[in-house]
Structure 1
Amino acid sequence: MTKLTQSKRSLVDLALEELGQRLTSGIWAVGSRIPTEPELAEQLGISRNTVREAVRVLLYAGLLEVRQGDGTYVRAITSPAEAMRSISRASLREQLEVRAVLEESTARLAALRADEQDIAQIERCLAVRGEQQQYQNADDFIARDLDFHLAIADACGNAALAELYRYFSRTVQLGIQFSIQDEALPDPDLASHQAIVTAIRNRDAAAAAQAAAAVTGPLLQALDTLLPPSAG
C-alpha cells in the first residue's frame, strides 16, 4: 500500500503521479473500473478531497471516464507526466494560445459561478497588482499579476481547469523570460483587467471572456514580432 507524504510538490501532484503509474504499469487496464475515492484515499494515505482533485484532472485529460451509476473507468493509459512533458516541448506561442483559451474559459465560468467571496478576492488581487509602472522589480509585478489571474481560475468552479491554468501560466512565463529576456512585452493596463472583474461581477459571461481575450491578444501579437519563427 503506497502512502504519500507532503513535500514541496502538492499532494495532488503526488497523487497524479501515483495514479499515472497505475495506468502505465498495467495495474489499471483500459476498460477496468478503478477503486472508489474512499478506497484510493485509504490506499494513498491522503484525503478524499485530494483524491477527487487528482481524479478530476485525469478525467479532464481523457484518461478516465465516469459511467453514471457504475463508477470510474480507465479510458486511456497515456502517462499524465509524459503528456505534460510533451506540452512543455511545444512552442511558446502554442503554449500561450492554450493559456489564452484557458483564461477566456475561466473568466466565462467565473462570471457564472463565482460567489461574493470569490469576487472580493479577485478585486483584492487586482488592487494589489496595480499598474506595472509602480514596480521596480519586474518579477514582483509578474507574481502579483499571476495572483490576479489565478484568483479568477480558482473562482471558475472547475478544479481541473484551474489546475491546467496554473500549469500553463507558469510554463509560459518561464518561456517568455528565457526566450525574450530583456525585450519589453506589452502589458494591458489596469483598466483592461478591471474590465474582466466588472464583467464577472455583472454575471456577464460573454463580456468576461471578451475582456480576457483583450488582455492576452496584444501579447500574442508581440510574440509574433519579437520571437524568431523557430522560437514561437
Structure 2
Amino acid sequence: MPLGALRPSPLVEQATERLRAHIAAGHWEVGGKLPGETTLARELGVGRSTVREALRALAGAGLVQPRQGAGVFVLATEPAEDWPTRLRRAAVTDVYEVRMLVEVQAARLAARRRTADDVAALRAALAARRAAATADDPAFVDADIALHAAVVAAAHNPVLTDLFAEFVPALREGLIDLLALLGVRTRDPNHGDASHAALVAAVEAGDPAAAGDLAEAELTNTLGELTRGAEAVQEPARGSAPVSE
C-alpha cells in the first residue's frame, strides 16, 4: 500500500505520524527493514532530510532502530511508555511498594546526613501536617506528602529526590481516594500523627536504624490500608447480581 503524498503543513510531524501508522498497522513487521530514505521520501513527497527527522523521532519512541550500514529496522508496533505514563497507569499499591523501597533508605540516609536546615524543614512540615488536620482530604494529603518529601530531601541524594517526585501524582490520587473510601479521618482527623512525629524525631536524633524502621512501619500500614481499600472496591462488583436487560 503506498504511503501517499503529504499536505503542506509541519512535514516532519506528518511524516512521523504516517510512518507510525504504517508500523502500527503491521505493514512493516517487527524485525523487518524499512524502505530506504530515498524510497520513503518519494512516497511521502518530501525531502530526505524530513524522512531522516521522522525516523529519528520514531527511534526516540522505541519503534525503530537504525543500524549502521544496514538500514532502519522495526523494533515495536507501539511506542514505549515513558516513566510518568507508566506510573499513571500502575496500580497505586504497586507504586506504593516501590515508594517503600525509596523512602525507607531515604529515611536512613536522612538520619545520617540531616543538617540544621533540614531539621527545621522537617519540624515545619510536621506542623503543617498537623494544621491540615482541619482541612479537606486533598489538603491533608498534600501536607502529608510534603513531610515525606522533606525526609527524602534530607537524604541529600538528588536521584532519590527526583524519583520521589515522579511518584507524587500517582500517590496523591491514590491516597485521596483511600481517605474518601475508608473514612479514616472521620475517626482521626490527624491520622498517623504519632508515627510521623516519631519519624521526624528519629531523623533529628541521627538514628538511621530507628528512622528506617519507623518509615517502613508507617508505609507498610498505609499499604495495608490501600490494599483493603482496593479489595473493598472490588468486592461489591464480585457480589453484585447480573443486571437484566
Cα distance in structure 1, aligned partners of 2:152 and 2:130: 19
Counterparts in 2 of 1:102 and 1:112: CA distance versus 1, 3 Å = same
Cα distance in structure 2, aligned partners of 1:146 and 1:197: 14
Cα distance in structure 2, aligned partners of 1:203 and 1:123: 15
Amino acid at match of 1:197: V
* Residue of structure 1 equivalent to 2:112: 112
* Residue of structure 2 equivalent to 1:130: 130
* Residue of structure 2 equivalent to 1:166: 165
Cα distance in structure 2, aligned partners of 1:165 and 1:175: 15
> CA shift at 1:192, angstroms?
0.8
**Counterpart among 60, 83, 89 of residue 24 in structure 1:** 60
Q: Say if 2:131 is the partner of 1:150.
A: no
> CA shift at 1:226, angstroms?
1.8
Counterparts in 2 of 1:113 and 1:130: CA distance versus 1, 3 Å = same
| Gaps in structure 2 of 5+ consecutive residues | 1-56, 66-78, 235-245
Structure 1 outlier segments of 4+, above 6 Å: none
**Counterpart among 211, 223, 226 of residue 223 in structure 1:** 226
Instruction: Provide the aligned C-alpha RMSD in A.
Output: 3.0
Cα distance in structure 1, aligned partners of 2:224 and 2:174: 16
* Residue of structure 2 equivalent to 1:198: 201
* Residue of structure 2 equivalent to 1:94: 94
* Residue of structure 1 equivalent to 2:138: 139
> CA shift at 1:124, angstroms?
1.3
Counterparts in 2 of 1:185 and 1:101: CA distance versus 1, 3 Å = farther
Larger Rg: 2
* Residue of structure 2 equivalent to 1:209: 212
State the TM-score, normalized to the length of structure 2: 0.56
Matches within 5 A, 1:1-80: 24=60
Per-residue Cα deviation, 1:124-167 (whole angstroms, up to 9, x for no partner): 111221176x4142222112112111111111111111111122
Cα distance in structure 1, aligned partners of 2:192 and 2:175: 19
Counterparts in 2 of 1:87 and 1:162: CA distance versus 1, 3 Å = same
Identity of aligned residues (%): 27
Cα distance in structure 2, aligned partners of 1:181 and 1:130: 19
CA contact (8 A) 1:99 1:165 kept: yes
Using CA pairs below 8 Å that are at least 6 residues apart, which structure has the higher relative contact order?
1
Considering fraction of residues, name the structure with more helix: 2
Cα distance in structure 1, aligned partners of 2:101 and 2:86: 18
> CA shift at 1:207, angstroms?
0.7
Per-residue Cα deviation, 1:86-129 (whole angstroms, up to 9, x for no partner): 23322211111111222212111111111111111111111221
Q: How many residues align?
A: 159
> CA shift at 1:198, angstroms?
1.4
Cα distance in structure 1, aligned partners of 2:82 and 2:195: 36
Counterparts in 2 of 1:188 and 1:229: CA distance versus 1, 3 Å = closer
CA contact (8 A) 1:113 1:155 kept: yes
| Gaps in structure 1 of 5+ consecutive residues | 1-20, 30-78
